[in-house]
Amino acid sequence: LRHLTTLENLPRETIERLLDRAEALRDACAHGTRKLDVLVGRTVLNLFFEPSTRTRTSFELAARRLGADVINFDIGLSSTSKGEELFDTLHTLEAMHMDAIIVRHKQSGTPDELVRHAMSGVSVINAGDGNHAHPTQGLLDALTIRQHRPDFENLSVVICGDIKHSRVARSDINALSTLGVKEIRLCGPAELMPTTEDVPQGRRVDDFDQAIKDADAVIMLRLQKERMASIDLPDEAAYFTHFGLDRRRLALAAKGCLVMHPGPINRGIEIASDIADGAQSRILEQVGNGVFVRMAVLNEVLAR
Ligand code: CP
């Protein structure tokens, strides 16, 4: 694998190889091996045009743990603000011999555009583009589920919330479908659901009580207000009543149902605080797994 811009059409064996490697790195870390030198002399650049806490920090940590040098490109202080075109920025950075560019951008398709315009051997890794894809989130979510429930063929997974605007949902659906989960159920307000042309997979269930019934994992999504026109904004209290995860609703799921959320969470809007912090919550495990998945991806694209 030279670039990672999407999980769509990525072969099952590639996804499983990345998850196996992430798991091995997690085990090694648990036994005290926190630093490796497989990427010494390589340079990784974080190019984030949208805010991030988890993805940007964990990519930096992952690269450093593999021995790479890391540059965090500050968009606000860059010549982007002087009108430099994205591809001129790309070529400028390539001239400085970057080995990998990790990019987040509000425009869907930007990472693939960078791949098409790259003139050097630089690897491009998508850290989230518009509502298109967030492949490392899809991998870390699959890893978190596999850690607890490796029997994918028996699993019903619910994704609930603003699926229309969610790159996480699309990458989760790609990963979980490829890995053979029994059923993916999609739930959310009609105006925040994708069309079947846009997202063909997943059974649409309008009512969250029905959707979560006997589910083995539930992935909650926040309202992505930054991608909505103000006219689309739902009333938050009404939203929680219909689509919020609380104790009563979680009791409808299968025993031990995994509670997941890519973050950032909005307490009291899509998830109750006691559930986000409760015994079934895997939210911080997802964050931890993000470092190992990103180490596995960097190792895959750069250790060649
Ligand atoms: N899940 C996720 O992408 O979080 P950040 O926006 O904090 O990176």
Residues 107 and 183 in one domain: no
Read off the amino acid at residue 235: D
Pick the atom of ligand 1 nearest to 263's CA. Answer: 1
Q: How confident is the model at residue 231 (pLDDT cuts 50, 70, 90)?
A: low
Is 278 part of any known ligand binding site?
no
Residues 190 and 268 in one domain: yes
Give tens-digit pLDDT for 165-215. 999 999 999 999 999 999 999 999 999 999 999 999 999 999 999 999 999
Nearest CA to ligand 1 atom 3: 55
Residues 199 and 220 in one domain: yes
Assign 123 to helix, strand or coil.
Answer: strand
Residues 151 and 276 in one domain: yes
Q: For 163-224, what is the HEC assignment? A: CCCCHHHHHHHHHHHHCCCCEEEEECCHHHCCCCCCCCCCEECCCHHHHHCCCCEEEECCCC
Is 164 part of any known ligand binding site?
no
Residues 163 and 227 in one domain: yes
In the sheet that holds 217-220, the strands lie side by side as 203-204, 183-187, 156-160, 217-220, 258-260
CATH of residue 145's domain is 3.40.50.1370
Nearest CA to ligand 1 atom 1: 262
Pick the atom of ligand 1 nearest to 290's CA. Answer: 1
Are 44 and 71 within 8 A, CB to CB? yes
Is 116 part of any known ligand binding site?
no
Give tens-digit pLDDT for 93-142. 999 999 999 999 999 999 999 999 999 899 999 999 999 999 999 999 99
Q: Which residues line ligand 1 (CB under 6 A)?
A: 52-55, 128, 137, 262-264
Looking at the structure of the chain, the number of domains it has is 2
Q: Could you give the ipTM of this predicted complex?
A: 0.98
Residues 36 and 150 in one domain: no
Pick the atom of ligand 1 nearest to 55's CA. Answer: 8
Say how far apart CA 11 and CA 199 lie, in whole Å.
Answer: 19
Is 263 part of any known ligand binding site?
yes
Residue 180 Cα, ligand 1 centroid: separation in angstroms? 26
Structural domain including 25 reads 12-133+287-302
Query: Which residues have a Cβ under 8 Å from the Cβ of 255 and sit 6 or more positions away?
Result: none
Give tens-digit pLDDT for 15-57. 999 999 999 999 999 999 889 999 999 999 999 999 999 999 9
Nearest CA to ligand 1 atom 6: 52
Q: Is residue 2 part of a domain?
A: no
